[in-house]
Structure 1
Amino acid sequence: MSILDIPELANLLASYLSLLDLSICIRVSKSWNYTFVPHIWHIIPPPASIFMAQSTHESAELLRLATRSDFLAAQQQPQDSSQGINNKAACSATTTTTTATVDPTQDSTSPEPTEQELLLHLLKYCPNLQSLHLDQWSGTNADLDFWRTFARDVVPSLVQFRVEFTYQCPNREKPYTGPVTVSIPPILIDKCSSMMNQLTIPYTNVFLETSLQEQEQDQDVEAAAMVSISNEAIEDAGEENEDPAGNEESLELAECTKLRRLEIDNSTASSLRLLADALRTGLPNVDEIEISYGDHYNDEFVADAVVASVLSANRKGWRNVSLPTLDTLSSEALVQHSTTLESLQVRNTPGFTSAQMCQILSTSPYLHTFMILSEGECVEPHVSHILAEDFIDLDPVTNSLRPWPCVSTLKLFRAKILGIPRPDITQTHYGCTRGEPAVGNGEEGNGAVVLQETHSGQGRELQAHVYERLSSFTRLKVLGLGHDDRDFGNENNFVEEPSGAWVLGDQAYQYECLEMSLDSGLQKLETLKDLEEVNVFRMATCVGVQEVKWMTKAWPRLVSVEGLNADTNEERAETWLRRYCPGILSNPCSFEL
């Protein structure tokens, strides 16, 4: 008895073999061929070169020509459609014969079929089709009949469907995405069967076609952004002259019982209100949401209360949340989902308090990503920070750290931890006394208060406890305590040093932070064996050569140390790292042009 006689073991063995291995196995014997051939076709690799891609394009063109010939033949010789489909599906030679014998140029009166007609004709031969991706298809009102037919005849059998709408402008060589009439997405959604688990309809403009006279009427047309559905992704991309038919879209969304994730881009307050209504009345399985406002730096046009209503409307509990802004009301709404939260990513946090952040960290048993710092935005967001005493969360009875449930799950932590007195820092990097602004845009601002120790050694005590808390996150891969979002292109952000040189000012520079030195207790982080990235951008650290030597030994998976060279010690550390550990990426911090 061979191992191949046991299908479960044979399938397990085949799963470990490459395509080359499988191609060898099928030539061993007939029984091996019978066993391993099906596994070769589980995955068809993409074209490996431009020549193969060109060959794929030529094959697609041949398929189109064959479909066109067969379509014209069907027009010339009407026959029972069901019989014809079954016969041609059973024997591929029939289609080849029809293509070879029918010359579409013989009947000059036959109208040229449209791409839409050819697609519907081709899909008649695919009654068991489950996954379909349509690229560059028109979605205007003139195409409604096609999409109604497509939704009726094709969509019900699909499990996965993705369509990308395009529009060919007369003055452009290539088509571009959009616009899409507001009627099409509901037509497609309405015909989805209970087996549909992925329906993605990305677009830039959902609109209602109106006459010029209607457009000139002095009325406010409120935008109501549509949302596509998918178990994996939802993409919503803004609005332009839409009809306020919000109730219909809300009802359509509420019926999407398999929907799990929402991705919403360029949305307005009205579209988010519709989404909140849909969450209250349906969408029982949605637990992931990503909201962005496109290229807008000013997010104030979407009220905090509207975002809060979306967060509060979820009945299942959010798992993954990605937002551009968390203000007072939305922060309060988010905290209510801390027990289910797995990932939190926010760029702007004007209303996210230290207590709320620690409430999430201390009550989220599944949390693996906590990120409230963004990189490379070149904007000036309101970035909240965690106070060291809140982060330590000391039990006054036992004088020990309270246990947090995310210690075994947290892998990415990016947040500022401040509130640590640093008596060792009396001057800024520009030679000014701390608390006094430099000439120009002062890095600490007018009237900045320098935190003082209540007793000698308090700063080091707090740091030891913060290190202890961080050391409990034993699965941590990314430790981001600093970040860089400065705008080098804005001349108003530069300040004058005492030497007379002009350098980039930094209002958000961290002085009341961890030293990240061995003297302050850095060695407590030796438990972070999975750590890959450390970020200390714009932080007043005391990292030197000894510290980076210790990091390379204590953290065997380290691949990146970002933010060194702010002072002489860090410059030496960064130089040593580049010389002796070239495999570790060193991204230094710069304060000059």
Structure 2
Amino acid sequence: MNQESITRDATSFGDLPAEVHGMIASLLDPYDLSLCVLVSKSWRAIFHRYLWRHVAIRVEDSEDFDLQLVNLLNANREHIHSLRLSADYGDVLHSFMELLSPSSYPRPVFPILDSAEIVAGGFDESTDETMAQFLELTGAKWKRLVLKETEKSEYGLDFGSESMEVLARHTEFLEVFRWMSDTGSTDGLVEQLLCSAPKLKELSVVGHYNSTGGYLDAREIVDMEWVCLGLEVFECRIRRIPRPDITRNIGDSSADEYVVEGTLEESLDLQRQVYTKLAMLTKLQVLKLGLVIDFYNTSEYELGDKTYRRQFDCLAMTLDSGLDLLKGLKELRLVGLEDMEVYIGEKEQSWFKEHWPNAQIVLGEDFHDEYLE
């Protein structure tokens, strides 16, 4: 074959199918993509949309958001699938939304946005109304929503009934929901997701650095019809379970001051109903029911309160309480039981090895050594 025929039959990069372009672009980081768009006009036409597919914006102060940035986002809004916003100080979400408020911008602002991560910094007082407005920006369906906070956060991101009203229109497609909450009960918001998001793979509701976060009420969830049976990560406390088996003193007080009132029969019945509910999630790889709080980043006063902030109204995670109902969770790789009042003995340890051989069981640093022997 001569050189002329080789040149005539050769296929250029631009002739490759769009699917192949996408596969190649997915392997490149933002820096590499930025180089690709500089190669030629044809390469720019191919790679430009992938360069703007995932946008991460971090500023020191939320007031650093400017119109030049918004103009860039507006010019490339049709390419943006995921957006990450973070600021060390200030109300990151409110400041961002204020820049998008001029009526000259079309709605929805981001036609294909389906993933967002909002990271609150210090002095962030974002409201539920602002969060709802942000969720309205997309013309697509939300697949991933992550609400995080930093060690500097004092107030956190508010996700309430208005935000849930918007997200509820997207639950058929939602796959990931992570929420660092400084509230107590989840006010039925997380429960609503469990009952309306069939594609949900990850549910994480934890406390931020200065609180213990939200929780699910055991008495309420047992009567719910969960639809997210493909859930792979479940990270949320389950509370309000009577634990009359806790008889030790808690600090200088008797257990009665911290334990939910109820008989042993009521406790075991409720626990077995909760276990039965969790047993439906046969795809679980991570099950974290423990208290998620970083005591090492808190003040000495709060650290001293750790004894009183344990979970005394949680699952006992013993065979006597119905643990065997979870033997079908064969995919588990991590079970977090930190700072829970659990009584793991030799028979529970043997059960873990038999039924969850590939799972790491995390009990917390202050767990009594005799339970691990």
Shorter-chain TM-score category?
0.7 to 0.9
SS at match of 2:342: coil
Name the amino acid aligned to 1:345: R
Aligned runs of 1:398-413 on 2, under 5 Å?
402=225, 404-407=226-229, 409-413=230-234
Answer whether contact 2:184 2:213 (CA < 8 A) is retained. no
TM-superposed deviation, 1:262: 0.6
Is residue 337 from structure 1 mapped to residue 146 from structure 2 by the alignment? Answer: no
Is residue 358 from structure 1 mapped to residue 191 from structure 2 by the alignment? Answer: yes
Answer whether contact 2:338 2:364 (CA < 8 A) is retained. yes
Q: Report the equivalent of 1:389.
A: 219
TM-superposed deviation, 1:348: 1.9
Name the amino acid aligned to 1:285: I
Query: Structure 1 residues 532, 261: closer, same or farther in 2, change over 3 A?
Result: same
Answer whether contact 1:279 1:314 (CA < 8 A) is retained. no
Answer whether contact 1:479 1:535 (CA < 8 A) is retained. yes
| More RCO (CA 8 Å, sep 6+) | 2
Match of 1:452 among 243, 261, 275: 261
Q: Report the equivalent of 2:140.
A: 316
Aligned runs of 1:143-182 on 2, under 5 Å?
156-158=41-43
TM-superposed deviation, 1:322: 0.5
TM-superposed deviation, 1:528: 0.4
SS at match of 1:289: strand
Query: Structure 1 residues 354, 554: closer, same or farther in 2, change over 3 A?
Result: farther
Match of 2:97 among 272, 295, 309: 272
Q: Report the equivalent of 2:12.
A: none
Count of aligned pairs between the two proteins: 328
Match of 2:361 among 561, 564, 583: 561
Answer whether contact 1:326 1:352 (CA < 8 A) is retained. no
Q: Report the equivalent of 2:159.
A: 327
Aligned runs of 1:204-283 on 2, under 5 Å?
230-231=52-53, 233-238=54-59, 245=67, 249=70, 252-253=73-74, 255-266=76-87, 267-274=92-99, 280-283=107-110
SS at match of 1:519: coil
Answer whether contact 2:311 2:339 (CA < 8 A) is retained. yes
Answer whether contact 2:80 2:110 (CA < 8 A) is retained. yes
Quote the Cα distance in structure 1 between the aligned partners of 2:353 and 2:192.
33
Name the amino acid aligned to 2:289: L
Match of 1:572 among 367, 370, 373: 370
Quote the Cα distance in structure 2 between the aligned partners of 1:346 and 1:555.
28
Quote the Cα distance in structure 2 between the aligned partners of 1:351 and 1:456.
26
TM-superposed deviation, 1:549: 1.1
Quote the Cα distance in structure 1 between the aligned partners of 2:319 and 2:178.
31
Answer whether contact 1:254 1:283 (CA < 8 A) is retained. no
Aligned runs of 1:48-87 on 2, under 5 Å?
none
Answer whether contact 1:250 1:275 (CA < 8 A) is retained. no
Q: Report the equivalent of 1:216.
A: none
Quote the Cα distance in structure 1 between the aligned partners of 2:106 and 2:348.
50
Q: Report the equivalent of 1:475.
A: 283
SS at match of 2:361: strand
Answer whether contact 1:287 1:320 (CA < 8 A) is retained. yes
Of structures 1 and 2, the larger Rg is shown by: 1
Cα displacement string for residues 185-233 of structure 1 (whole angstroms, at most 9, x for unaligned residues): xxxxxxxx4752322xxxxxxxxxxxxxxxxxxxxxxxxxxxxxx32x2
Q: Report the equivalent of 1:520.
A: 321
Query: Structure 1 residues 393, 523: closer, same or farther in 2, change over 3 A?
Result: same
Name the amino acid aligned to 1:477: Q
TM-superposed deviation, 1:341: 1.0
Query: Structure 1 residues 564, 383: closer, same or farther in 2, change over 3 A?
Result: closer
Identity among equivalent pairs (%): 26
Q: Report the equivalent of 1:493.
A: 302
Q: Report the equivalent of 2:131.
A: 307
Quote the Cα distance in structure 2 between the aligned partners of 1:291 and 1:389.
32
SS at match of 2:309: coil
Listed as ranges, the gaps of 5+ residues in structure 2 are 1-23, 25-30, 149-156
Q: Report the equivalent of 2:118.
A: 291
Answer whether contact 2:317 2:343 (CA < 8 A) is retained. yes
Quote the Cα distance in structure 1 between the aligned partners of 2:239 and 2:65.
49
TM-superposed deviation, 1:564: 4.8
Query: Structure 1 residues 154, 334: closer, same or farther in 2, change over 3 A?
Result: same
Q: TM-score, normalised by structure 1?
A: 0.50
Name the amino acid aligned to 1:327: F
Cα displacement string for residues 519-542 of structure 1 (whole angstroms, at most 9, x for unaligned residues): 011001000001011111111112
Quote the Cα distance in structure 2 between the aligned partners of 1:543 and 1:509.
16
Answer whether contact 1:420 1:514 (CA < 8 A) is retained. yes
Cα displacement string for residues 46-91 of structure 1 (whole angstroms, at most 9, x for unaligned residues): xxxxxxxxxxxxxxxxxxxxxxxxxxxxxxxxxxxxxxxxxxxxxx
Quote the Cα distance in structure 2 between the aligned partners of 1:480 and 1:243.
37
Answer whether contact 1:290 1:321 (CA < 8 A) is retained. yes
TM-superposed deviation, 1:251: 7.8
Quote the Cα distance in structure 2 between the aligned partners of 1:287 and 1:337.
10
Q: Report the equivalent of 1:583.
A: none
Answer whether contact 2:203 2:235 (CA < 8 A) is retained. yes
Quote the Cα distance in structure 1 between the aligned partners of 2:117 and 2:93.
14
Name the amino acid aligned to 1:563: L
Name the amino acid aligned to 2:221: F
Match of 1:196 among 30, 48, 53: 48
Quote the Cα distance in structure 2 between the aligned partners of 1:526 and 1:272.
47
Q: Report the equivalent of 1:380.
A: 210
Is residue 461 from structure 1 mapped to residue 269 from structure 2 by the alignment? Answer: yes
Q: TM-score, normalised by structure 2?
A: 0.77
Match of 2:350 among 535, 545, 549: 549
Cα displacement string for residues 135-190 of structure 1 (whole angstroms, at most 9, x for unaligned residues): xxxxxxxxxxxxxxx99x7574345xxxxxxxxxxxxxxxxxxxxxxxxxxxxxxx
Answer whether contact 2:231 2:281 (CA < 8 A) is retained. yes
Quote the Cα distance in structure 2 between the aligned partners of 1:550 and 1:257.
53
TM-superposed deviation, 1:343: 0.3
Query: Structure 1 residues 237, 279: closer, same or farther in 2, change over 3 A?
Result: farther
Name the amino acid aligned to 1:462: L
SS at match of 1:527: coil
Answer whether contact 1:326 1:351 (CA < 8 A) is retained. no
Query: Structure 1 residues 530, 244: closer, same or farther in 2, change over 3 A?
Result: closer
Answer whether contact 2:286 2:334 (CA < 8 A) is retained. yes
Quote the Cα distance in structure 1 between the aligned partners of 2:233 and 2:334.
9
Q: Tell me how large the CA RMSD over aligned residues is.
A: 3.3
